[in-house]
Amino acid sequence: MTSMLAKIKAPYNSFGKFWSYIISEMSFNFIWPVVQTYSALWLVKYANYSHANVGLAFSMMSLMGLISAPVIGYIGDKVLEKKYLLYITCVLLVLMGPFMEWIILPSHGNTYVMSIIMGLVIGLVMNGGTNVNEQYEQRMSFVNNFQYSWVRSGVTITGFVAPLICGYVLSTVPKMFFWSLTISGLIYMAMVIFFIKHDRNNLAVLHDKKHDTVNVKGILKSMASKPFIFFVIFLLGTVPLSQIADQQVSNYFQSYFNTAHGTMLFSYATTIGQVIAFLGMLVIPVVIKRIGYRNGLVVMAVIMAIRLMLFAFARNWVLVAVGQILSGFYTPFWFVCPMGYIFSVFNKNEFATIQSLSTGAAVQISQTIFSGIIGAGYDQLGFHSTYLIIGVICSAFAIFGAFFLVTGHQNPRKSEQEATGTEQTEVTN
């Protein structure tokens, strides 16, 4: 085995400089299917939450993501390769099991206060922790010289394994459902503390000598530029709507069934979608080389809009399942294109801050505003009408992106890692 690994090109023959990153991605991102896909069902069925209260909780998750994103981004641009933020994320993830069973479950959804508290705590761990992970791994992709999308494929591996685990646990021992996050958190903690490493001789690649180090003045200048404004507007009307749809699609799917059988069928559809996403992560560098990050974002938005419209016109569980599977086609674009777009258009020294303010904070703004509204829409208008409304909105913003997103100054390179290399250009105003 050792001789076989030695023949593989570095760093892919190194556990610390490549494989440990994939395992950390898999273990941390277990929180997404647990919270985004199944928590609404758990809260309604076992904690007696109304759909409106669930929407309020998700709004608070987004609000915490919005509050934490700029802080995490700015600190990340300062500490670079140091793992301080990763350590904090480890501890918070491990504490999720006790928090949900001992504090949230006994409340039985009786007060808005508990919905707010739960949303803020989960939002800090899930949304804040995702920013921490993505920014750190993206930087290490060019320090260690590995394909960023291949490491991010760990998310999709979790995506098609986790629904099966979640579906089984939720059907058999629902009170223990969130303890799965504590277990995954311990695995994540082990990777971060003992195994994740970087090439110390290549840290200079993190610095862009053509620009000043990150500072408030430079960040404000970037935020006032047309590329940033158009990018944020595009994100506001596409990604959050698709993610909000995911929050309660499990309840939508279950509405076609009178038994728990629907939960397992939903987990199968989600797993198929994640298998497609995993395969897409392997080939996305080739796709991006041909169409570029800008066009990749537009393709992503179009697929999201089609999926939402499919939910709107579905009249049986089969079409809802097809819509769930369709998520696997846009996931690779979402994981790779925004960061590649940021690196090809903005100052590299401000990468984490720009990423936090756009794909982080901007997305959370939209979710904070609309999660509660759309959650109430499910109760008042029904799933079909609500999905039709957000599907039309997403379609309009996809068209907006086709006209107003800018093309980066450098052509798409052979991989997203190369696109985040040492050359960087200024923002075009």
Query: The domain at 12-200+211-419 falls in which architecture?
Result: Up-down Bundle (1.20)
Report the alpha-carbon distance of residue 63 to residue 364 in Å, rounded: 6
pLDDT score recorded for residue 132: 92
Residues in the chain: 429
Report the alpha-carbon distance of residue 55 to residue 388 in Å, rounded: 18
Q: What percent of the chain has pLDDT over 90?
A: 27
Residue among 355, 403, 331, 301 at smallest CA distance from 149? 331
Output the six-digit token pair for 400: 């907006």
Reported pTM? 0.74
pLDDT score recorded for residue 109: 59
For the segment 308-337, what is each residue's pLDDT rounded down to a tens digit? 999 998 888 889 899 999 988 998 999 889
Report the alpha-carbon distance of residue 176 to residue 142 in Å, rounded: 40
For residue 16, give Cα distances in angstroms to 21, 87, 193, 196, 281.
8, 17, 11, 5, 21
Output the six-digit token pair for 122: 């989960």
Measured distance between the N- and C-terminal CA atoms of the chain, rounded to whole angstroms: 53
Report the alpha-carbon distance of residue 128 to residue 68 in Å, rounded: 6
Position with higher pLDDT, 160 vs 172: 172
**Amino acid sitting at position 150:** W
Say yes or no to pLDDT of 1 above 50: no
Q: Which residues of 147-171 are buried (b: 16+ CB within 10 A; e: fewer)?
A: bbbbbbbbbbbbbbebbebbbebbe
Position with higher pLDDT, 398 vs 252: 398
In contact, 38 and 270? CB cutoff 8 Å: no
With tokens 């990763």, the residue in question is 86
For residue 219, give Cα distances in angstroms to 208, 213, 341, 351, 389.
15, 10, 17, 10, 35
pLDDT score recorded for residue 336: 86
Strands in 92-190 per DSSP E: none
Residue among 386, 30, 350 at smallest CA distance from 217? 350
Output the six-digit token pair for 277: 């996403």
Residue among 145, 136, 126, 122 at smallest CA distance from 73? 136
Position with higher pLDDT, 83 vs 63: 83
* Domain boundaries along the sequence of the chain: 12-200+211-419
Report the alpha-carbon distance of residue 385 to residue 319 in Å, rounded: 16
Say yes or no to pLDDT of 307 above 90: yes
Average pLDDT over residues 100-125: 85
In contact, 419 and 293? CB cutoff 8 Å: yes
Q: Other C-beta atoms within 10 Å of 195: how many? A: 15
Output the six-digit token pair for 132: 């921490």
In contact, 64 and 123? CB cutoff 8 Å: yes
Say yes or no to pLDDT of 21 above 60: yes
In contact, 261 and 245? CB cutoff 8 Å: no
Report the alpha-carbon distance of residue 345 to residue 339 in Å, rounded: 10
Report the alpha-carbon distance of residue 51 to residue 203 in Å, rounded: 48
Per-residue confidence at 163, pLDDT binned at 50, 70, 90? Answer: confident
